[in-house]
A = this chain, B = another copy of it.
Amino acid sequence: MSPQDLIRKKRDGKRFTPAEIDAFVQGVCDGTWADYQTSALLMAMFVNGLNLAEQNALTSAMLASGEHFDFSELDAPVADKHSTGGVGDKTSLLIAPMVAACGVYVPMISGRGLGYTGGTLDKLESISGYNVRLSKSEFKKTLKKCGFALAGQTENIVPADKKLYALRDATATVESIPLIVASIMSKKLAEGLDALVLDVKTGSGAFMQSERDVRRLARALVKTGNAFDVKTEAVISDMNQPLGQYVGNALEVFECLKLLRNDAEAQTKPTLDLSIELAARILILCGVADTIESSNLKIQNVLASGEALEKFRQNIELQGGDAKICDDPEVLLDKHLLKIKIKSPASGYISKIDAGEIGRAISAIGGGRVKVEDQIDCAVGYACEKKLGDAVAEHETLGTLFCRSEAQAAKVLAKLQMAYKIGDEKSPKPKLIKEIIK
Contacts and interface: CB of A to CB of B under 8 A. Distances in A.
Interface in A138-184: 167, 170-173
A172 B38 contact: no
Report how many copies the assembly holds: 2
Contact of A40 (B5, B8, B48, B171): B171
A11 interface: yes
Interface string A26-38: 0000000011111
B4 A40 contact: no
A46 interface: yes
Interface of A: 3-5, 7-8, 11, 34-44, 46-48, 167, 170-173
Contact of A170 (B5, B36, B43, B48): B36
Contacts of A167: 36
Contact of A36 (B36, B47, B48): B36
A48 B4 CA distance: 19
A41 B36 CA distance: 10
19 contacts: A3-B171, A7-B172, A8-B172, A11-B46, A11-B47, A34-B170, A35-B35, A35-B36, A36-B167, A36-B170, A37-B170, A37-B171, A39-B39, A39-B40, A40-B40, A40-B43, A43-B47, A47-B47, A47-B48
Given A34-B170, A172-B11, A42 B44 contact: no
Contacts of A48: 47
A12 to B, nearest CB: 9
A171 B7 contact: yes
Contacts of A170: 3-4, 34, 36-37
A8 B43 CA distance: 10
A298 B370 CA distance: 70
